[in-house]
Amino acid sequence: MKKTCFLAFCLWICLGSIVLADDYKASLFGIKSNGTTLNTNSIQKAIDYIHEKGGGRLVFYVGRYLTGTIQLKSNVTIHLEEGAILLGSSNIYDYNVTQTFPALVTAYNAQNIAITGKGVIDGQGREVAYNLLDQVHKGLLKDALINDRPAQRRPKGIYLRECKNVDISGVIVKNAAEWVVVCDQCENLKIDKLTVDSKAFWNNDGIDIVDCKNVLISNSFIDSSDDAICFKSHDATKLCENVEVRNCVARSSASGIKFGTVSSGGYKNFKIVNNKIFDTHRSAITIATPDGGAVENILVDSLYAYNTGNAIYLRIGARWNKGRTGTMKNITIRNMHCEIATGKADAGREYEGPIEDMPRNISPASIVGLPGQYISDVKLQNINIVYPGNSNPNYAFRGISNVDLDSIPEMPSAYPEFSQFKELPAWGFYLRHAKNIQFENVTLTSKGKEYRPALVLDDVQGATLSKMHIIDPQKQKKQIHSYRSTNIVQSK
Amino acid sequence: MKKYLLIVGLLCLVCAFELTAKDYLISDFGAKNDGATNNAGAIQYAINFIHEQGGGRLIFETGTYVTGSIYLKSNVTLHLNQGATILGSTNPFDYVKDKKIGWMSMIFAVNQENIGITGKGTINGRGYLTANNMVTYIQTGIYTDPLKYDRPNETNRPQNIYFRECKNITIKDITLKDPASWNQTYDQCKNLYVEGITVDSKSYWNNDGIDVVDCEDVVIKNSYFDAADDVICFKSHSADHLCKNVVVDNCVGRSSANGLKFGTVSRGGFKNFKVTNLTIFDTYRSAITLAAVDGAEIENIEIDGVKSINTGNVIYLRIGDRWGKGKKPSLKNVRISNVYAEVPVGKPDAGYNYEGPVEDLPRNISPASIVGLVENKIKDVTLKNIHIVYPGEGNPMYAKRGLSPAELDGIPEMRDAYPEFSQFKELPAWGFYVRHAEGINFDNITFTALKKDYRPALVLDDVKDASFRSMQFIEPESKGKQQIFEYQSTSRTIK
C-alpha cells in the first residue's frame, strides 16, 4: 500500500510538473499589448480557463497590457517576460472597490500561485488616486478623506489572502495607489528578486506581510514612500511566524524594516539577515507592538543602514490592545552598522516623510516599554552607530535630572514612532522600561559635540554593558546615565 | 561634397521628368472611394495600363480607397491629392507575401525604374487591425507562425511600401500611417529621393519609420517621423551589398526605439553618409545608434547638427559578432559634431502605444557608449562641440559598477547579443563609456549631471590614442572629483 501511495505520489508530482509547464500566450485570449485596450475580462477569462484546465502559465510578452482588477486562481502563474507591463487602469471603477482591500492583482484561498518573470506590474497609482479623489469631490463616492486623501478604495498592487504556496519572483511592482505587495494570512510564501518602485502616492508600503507563516523574502530591492518591508498582524488570533528576510536593499520615507503598526496577534521566529537600508526618513528597523501582539525570537543580523533618520526603535504601546498586553522579548540585533542622516534623509523624493515632533535634536535609538510592561532579553552585539551630533540645548533641551526624565511622556496610546517623545535626553541610545538588556561591543560615535550623554537608562532592570565605545568631541562628560535602574553592570 | 550635389541634381531631373508625364484618374478605372470596396484589382489594372502607355501619374482624388497588395511598374507615379487616402484592407489574406522579397506589403515594386508616390494624401495600413486579425488566424491554426513574442513574425504582417531593386524613386509629400510591420522599405535600390513626408507609425510592433536597405545614392530630407520602432533606419541584409552615398537633412523624429540607426541587420556595410540638422525627441533609446554586428563595414560617416531632447541615450557605437559568419566588421572614420542633448530621468516615450520595453534592469541612467571588440576596435571617431545634459543621481545601492579592474573586466563583452545602449546593464560612467577603441577624439565636450552621481563622467577601457581638448564636466558637490578614468588606455590632452 505504501509503495502504491509512493508511486501515486510520484505520478502526481510528474503530472503536476507537466500541467504546470503548460504555457498559454496572452494573444490566445485576445489580450492586446498596445497599452490602451482594457483587457480585464480577457485576462480573467484566461486565468479561469487555465485554472479549469488544471493549471499553467499565462505568459505576457513585451508590451503594455492595460487592465483592472484580476483574480489569480489555483495553479495559475502570471509570467511577465522582460518588457511586459501589466498596467493598471487609471479609472477607479475598473477595480474591485467593494472589497475591503481592492487591488490590481488579487487571489483568495488559492494554492500554488505565482507571479514570475522580469516584467512589470505598474498600478498607475497616482492617476487612480486622483481619479478616485475626483469622484469623491463630485459626490459620486463617499469617503472621509482622512488627511485629505481617500481613506478607502485605493487599489493595492498585489493583494493575496489566505493563499498557500505563493511564489513572487523577478518582477518589478510599481506605483500602487496604496500598499504595493500585500500577503495576508498566507502560508509558504517565497518572494525573490522582487523590485518595488513605488513613490506614487501616500501609504505606498513596499511589501506588507500580514499574519503569514513560513515566509522567505530574498534578494529584493524596495524603494517606497511608506515602510519598505513591513510585517503586520491584523488578527489577534493570528500572527506572523517563521519569517526570513535575506539580502534585501530598501529605501523608504518611513521605516526600512517595520513590525507594525497594526500588531494584534504578534511576530515569532524571525531571521533578518544581511540587509541594507538607505536614504530612509525614519528608523532602519522599528519593532512595535501597540495593539497587544506578542513579539519574540527576532534575530537581526548584519543590517547596514546609510543616511537614515534613526537606527533602531523597539516599542511596546497600548493603543488598540483591547485589554490584551503586548510583549516583546528575545530580540537579538548584531553586526549592525548605521550612519544617521545630518539632514532629511529622503529629501527631494516624492511624498517625503512628514517633519514632525519638533522641536527636537537628532533622536537616539530607543527601546521603550511601558511601566510594568518591560521589553526584555534584548541583545545588542557588534553595533556601530554614527551620529552627526551638534545638538543645541537652546533649540530643544531634555536634561538628565529626575524631573526632566520623569517629564518624558509615556504615550501608551500614541502611534509608535522614534520621534514621538520629541527631545530625548540621550544622543546614542535611550532605554526605558526594559529588562535584561545586553550591550556587547557597541560603538556610538557623535561627529559633533553633544550636550546630552550617549546613553540613558530609565527603569532598566538588569543590563550588562561590555566593550562599549563612545566617541564624542564633547569630552569630560559622563556618557552613561542611569535612573530608577537596577543591576547595571559595566565592564571593559 | 561634389558627389552629393551630383546625386541631388540627378534626382531633380527625375522629378522633373515625372511632373511632365501624363495624368490618369483612378476613377476612370472604376475604383470606388467609399472606404469599403477593395480596389486592388482596379488599381493594379490602372498601373499596368499606364505602364504600357509609356508612363504617367495615377491620380487619386479626395476619397478613401481600400486596397490589398498592388505592384507599381516602371514610369508610374501614384499621386494622392490632399484628402485622398489609400486604406489597407484589414484582412491579411488580401496581401501578398512576395516570393522574392519574403515580406508582405501593400505597395510593392520589384526591378522597376522611375517610380514614385507623391501628393499630400495619406497611405494608412490600418496595421493594428490587420495584425490582430493575423494573430487570430494563427491562434486558430489557419495560418502558421511561431508567434515569437506573442506576435506574428514581421514578414507575416504587411508593410505599407516595399520596393526592391528599383531605380529612380521619388517619395514626396505623402503621409504614411499605421503599417502592421515596418512602414516603408527600399531594398537594393538606387537613386532614392524622399522629401517632405510625414510618417505616423505607431500602430503595432516593429513600426519603423523608414528602412533603407543596401541602397545607393539616397536623399531623405525635410521629413517628420513618429514611429513605435526605429525612426530612420539603414540596414544591410546582404553581405555583398551596402548602403552608400546617403544624405539625410533636416529631419525630425520620435521613436520608442532609436532615432538614426544603422542596423540591426548589418551584413554588408554603410559608407559615405552625411547627416545634417537632425532633431530627435521623446525617444526611448538612442538618438544615434551605429551598429556593425553582422560583419558590416561602416566608414566615412559625418553627423553634424543634432538636437536630442528627452531621449534616453545619445550616442551608441558598437561592433559585435552576431551573424557575420567570419566576415570582419569595422567601424571607422565617424565624425559627430554640434550636438546638444538632454537625457531625462523618466521614460521618454511614456504614454505612447507600444512603448519601448523596460529592460536590462537594474541600471542607473546609461552613458553614451562606444564599444568595440577586443580584436576589432572602433577606430577614428571624432566628437566635437557636444553638450549632453544628464540627470545624474546614479545610486550605487540600486545598481553599482565600480572602477576596480575586477569590476571593469566584469562588464560582459556580449559579442553576439542584440546591440542596444542598455545591454551591459550598469556601466561605470555617467557621461561616456569607451571600450576597445582606437583614435577617439573628444573636442570641446561638456557633460552636465544635474545631480551628483557616484560614477565618474567618462571611462576609457582598452582605448588607444584617445585625445581630449577642452573638456568640461559639471556635477554638483563634486569639486576635485576625477571625472575621467582610464584603464588599459593611452590618451593625450591637447591644449
Q: What is the pLDDT of residues B432-491, one digit of tens each?
A: 999 999 999 999 999 999 999 999 999 999 999 999 999 999 999 999 999 999 999 999
Would you state the cell numbers that stand for residue B405, as one nine-digit string? 579592474
**CA of B202, closest CA in chain A: separation in Å?**
10
Element (H, E) at A405: helix A402-406
What dihedral angle (degrees, nearest 10) is formed by the CA atoms of A184, A185, A191, A197?
A: 10
Integer Cα distance of A371 and B353 in angstroms: 61
Cβ separation A251–B132 shorter than 8 A: no
**pLDDT tens-digit readout, A433-447:** 999 999 999 999 999
pLDDT band at B292 (very low <50, low <70, confident <90, very high): very high
Assess whether pLDDT exceeds 90 at residue B146: yes
To the nearest whole angstrom, how far is the Cα of B434 from the nearest Cα of chain A?
Answer: 27
- Note the pLDDT tens digit of each residue in A23-59: 999 999 999 999 999 999 999 999 999 999 999 999 9
Contact B149 A61 (CB under 8 A): yes
Mean pLDDT computed over every residue of chain A: 95
pLDDT number for residue A263: 97
User: Looking at beta carbons, which residues of chain B come within 8 Å of A175?
Assistant: none
What pLDDT shows up at residue B386?
Answer: 98
Dihedral of the CA atoms B475, B481, B483, B488 (nearest 10)? -160
CA dihedral A183, A184, A187, A189 (to 10 degrees): 10
Q: Which helix (H) or strand (E) holds B302?
A: strand B297-319
Q: What is the mean pLDDT of chain B?
A: 96
Per-residue model confidence (pLDDT) at position B4: 58
Report the residue from A30, A34, A249 with minimal CB separation from B354: A34
Banded pLDDT at A150 (limits 50, 70, 90) = very high
Residue of B142 and B10 predicted with greater confidence = B142
In the predicted model, what is the mean pLDDT of residues A4-26?
A: 58
Q: Is residue B5 over pLDDT 70?
A: no
B245: Cβ contacts below 8 Å, ≥ 6 apart? B3, B4, B7, B216, B217, B218, B271, B272
Evaluated on CA atoms B359, B362, B368, B369, the torsion sign reads negative
CB A103, CB A158: distance < 8 Å:
yes
**CA-wise closest residue to A285 among A319, A245, A325:** A245
Q: How confident is the model at residue B8 (pLDDT cuts 50, 70, 90)?
A: low
Q: In the predicted model, is pLDDT for residue A2 greater than 90?
A: no
* A475 — pLDDT class (breaks 50, 70, 90): confident
> What distance lies between CA A225 and its chain's CA centroid?
11
Among B437, B299, B297, residue whose Cα is nearest residue B368: B437
Collect all residues with Cβ–Cβ distance below 8 Å to B278 and sequence separation of at least 6: B248, B251, B252, B253, B259, B260, B287, B303, B305, B306, B307
Work out the minimum CA distance from A147 to partner chain B, whole angstroms: 29
In DSSP terms, A446 is beta-bridged to A387
- Which of A27, A36, A223 lies at the smallest CB-CB distance from B353? A36
Cβ contact (<8 Å) for B139 and A82? no
- Give contacts of B136 with chain A, Cβ < 8 Å: 30
| Residue of A82, A221, A279 lying closest to B357 (CB–CB) | A82
Tracing cell 580584436 back to the chain, one arrives at B375
Spatial CB neighbours of B211, under 8 Å, sequence gap ≥ 6 = B182, B183, B184, B185, B186, B233, B234, B235
Q: pLDDT category, B3, cuts 50, 70, 90?
A: low
Q: Tell me the nearest-neighbour CA distance from B358 into chain A, angstroms.
A: 5
Separation of alpha carbons A29 and A443, rounded Å: 61
CA dihedral sign, ordered B78, B82, B83, B85? positive
Look at residue A11 and tell me whether its pLDDT is greater than 60: no
Minimal Cα–Cα distance from B149 to chain A, Å?
5
Q: What single string gives the DSSP state of each residue in A80-142?
A: E-TTEEEEE-S-GGGS-TTSSS-EEEEEES-EEEEEEES-EEE--HHHHHHHHHHHHHTTSS-
R_g of chain B, CA atoms, integer Å = 24
Contact list in B for residue A303 (CB cut-off 8 A) is none
Say if residue A69's pLDDT is above 80. Answer: yes
- And the C-alpha cell for A317? 504601546
pLDDT digits (tens, 9 = 90+) for B159-175: 999 999 999 999 999 99
Could you tell me the pLDDT band of residue B495, with boundaries at 50, 70 and 90?
confident
Name the band, by pLDDT with cuts 50, 70 and 90, for residue B120.
Answer: very high
Chain B neighbors of A274, CB-CB under 8 A: none
- Range A368-374 average pLDDT: 97
% of residues, chain A, pLDDT over 70: 96
Residue type, B117: I
| A33 to B354: CB separation less than 8 angstroms, yes or no | yes
DSSP-derived 3-state class of residue B266: strand
Q: Are A289 and A315 contacting, i.e. CB atoms less than 8 angstroms apart?
A: yes
3-class DSSP assignment, residue A29: helix
Q: A62, B149: Cβ pair inside 8 Å?
A: yes
Question: Closest partner residue to B139 among A28, A85, A279, by Cβ?
Answer: A28
Q: Which residues of A touch B (CB under 8 A)?
A: 25-28, 30, 32-36, 59-64, 81-85, 118, 120, 172, 195, 221, 223, 249, 251, 276, 278-279, 306
- In this complex, the residue of A35, A83, A221 whose CB is nearest that of residue B353 is A35
A contact test, residue of B143, B360, B397 with most A CBs within 10 A:
B397
Q: Which pLDDT score, from 0 to 100, does residue A415 have?
A: 97
C-alpha cell at B82: 490632399
Query: A180 and A196 in contact (C-beta within 8 Å)?
Result: yes
**Cβ contacts of B132 on chain A, cutoff 8 Å:** 32
pLDDT tens column, A202-253: 999 999 999 999 999 999 999 999 999 999 999 999 999 999 999 999 999 9
Mind listing the pLDDT tens digit for each residue in B58-87? 999 999 999 999 999 999 999 999 999 999
Mean pLDDT of B211-226: 98
Shortest CB distance from A26 goes to which of B132, B136, B150?
Answer: B150
The pTM assigned to this predicted structure is 0.92
Grid cell of B9 as nine digits? 541634381
Kindly list the residues from chain B whose CB atom is less than 8 angstroms away from the CB atom of residue A36: 353
CA distance B205 to B229: 7
Contact by Cβ (8 Å): A223, A247: no
Segment A364-385 mean pLDDT: 98
Place of cell 498557500: A164
Whether residue A60 and residue B149 make contact (CB cut-off 8 A), yes or no, is: no
Largest CA distance in chain A: 82
Q: What is the average pLDDT across B180-189?
A: 98
What mean pLDDT comes out for the span A366-375? 98
Contact B357/A195, CB-based, under 8 Å?
no
Rounded mean pLDDT, B384-389: 98
Contact assignment for B397 to A27 by CB distance below 8 Å: no
Task: Please report the pLDDT score of residue B9 as a whole number.
Answer: 52
Q: What is the mean pLDDT of residues B114-122?
A: 98
Under an 8 A CB cutoff, do A63 and B139 touch? no
Question: What is the H or E stretch that residue A403 is in?
Answer: helix A402-406
**CB spacing of B397 vs A25 below 8 angstroms:** no
Please judge whether A62 and B353 are an interchain contact, meaning their C-beta atoms are less than 8 angstroms apart.
no
* pLDDT range class, residue A492, cuts 50, 70, 90: confident
What mean pLDDT comes out for the span B354-381?
A: 97
Taking CB atoms and an 8 Å limit, are A34 and B204 in contact across chains? yes
pLDDT at B6 over 90: no
Nearest Cα neighbor of A189 from A157, A161, A222 is A161
Angle at A56 between CA A52 and CA A57, to 5 degrees: 125
Distance from CA of B97 to the nearest CA of A (A): 23
Kind plus residue range of the DSSP H or E element containing A231: strand A229-233
